[in-house]
Amino acid sequence: MSIKLTILKSGETIISEMQELVSDKNQASPHAYLLTNPHRVKMEQKSFLTEEENDKKYPIDVSLTPWIILSSDKKYILPVDCVMTIAEPIEGVKKLFLDKCEAFGIKEELNG
């Protein structure tokens, strides 16, 4: 399973399980990406900090919401020309995504 952060040209940050789509084995780069259970990543500065959080470098709250909230689809094809960059999420954000998927019974789909 490859969990990635995708920064879109629209400025949105998406976290999802990602696969590259190629037409054949000889194709050097993907023509699209398959995103499974994509969620929009929203970051906000914390409004208050506990004593233990006060020592951390990044006092932010991260929340995840389904990318296309009114759709029942779990998989989306994203053309490469929509993507600005792809990055590895930090462990805390990856765990948040996996915990949310597990809580909503989606983990089996990601592992399948």
The rounded mean pLDDT for the chain is 84
Q: What is the mean pLDDT of residues 65-92?
A: 94
Would you say residue 110 has pLDDT above 60?
A: no
- Return d(Cα 16, Cα 93) in angstroms, integer: 11
- Return d(Cα 49, Cα 47) in angstroms, integer: 7
Least-confidence region, from 20-24, 40-44, 61-65: 20-24
Single pTM value for the model = 0.78
Residue 81, both tokens? 């020309």
Q: What 3 state SS string does 22-35 have?
A: CCCCCCCCCCEEEE
pLDDT band at 112 (very low <50, low <70, confident <90, very high): very low
